[in-house]
Amino acid sequence: MDSQFLLKIYNKQAKMIYFYLKKNGCNHEDAEDIVQESYMKYIAYSSGVPSDKALSYIFTIAMNEFKKMLKKKGKEQVISINDFRFWNNLSEDWDTESSVLNTETNQEITLTLECMKEIYKQLLVLKYELELSYKEIALLLGMKEETVRTYLFRARKEFQKKWRSLHE
């Protein structure tokens, strides 16, 4: 195991996995623990994993650890679409009506995402909330870039269909 390679992956990608976990409702301490545990498992079992698949392997471990943690705690996965907090809203020049509409829209988006396949939900959050490129998403999930494009197209279509049915 090349320690420089592992350090490079960790410095570049651990934050991305951490923020993805946070967007999915994981608290700070648990997200840090999951990222660290994922890299520890990768180190332990990396001999059978090609280096070009390292990130997707680590991401998969992190998602499995997150799901195990939710199951253990008896919680549901909650997607956080917007991290505006109460004090941030007060400090901005938003009026009350805009703030309420923004909150309602975020709740509707979350509800729509909850009705979708897990892979579509992941892709939409990675692309539009974390603003990753197709190439970065492909690397993270261990897919071909064209597959990511195709799945994102399907995810957008499914989201539009569910959004329309929610508003009819």
Confidence of residue 80 (pLDDT cuts 50, 70, 90): low
Tell me the pLDDT band of 77, cut-offs 50, 70 and 90.
Answer: low
Mean pLDDT lowest among 5-14, 54-63, 89-98: 89-98
Mean pLDDT across 41-66: 83
Measure the CA–CA gap between 158 and 118, rounded to whole angstroms.
12
Mean pLDDT, rounded, of the chain = 79
DSSP per residue over 124-156, as a string? Answer: HIIIIIS---HHHHHHHHT--HHHHHHHHHHHH
Q: Is 17 exposed, middle or buried (0-12, 13-18, 19+ CB in 10 A)?
A: buried
Residues 6+ apart with CB under 8 A from 14: 35, 39
**What is the arithmetic mean of pLDDT over 19-33?**
86
For the cut 60, the answer to whether the pLDDT of residue 89 exceeds it is no
Q: Does residue 127 surpass a pLDDT of 80?
A: yes
Residue 129 has pLDDT above 90, yes or no: no
pLDDT(71) > 80: yes
**What is the model's pTM?**
0.61
Least confident piece of the model among 91-100, 105-114, 127-136: 91-100
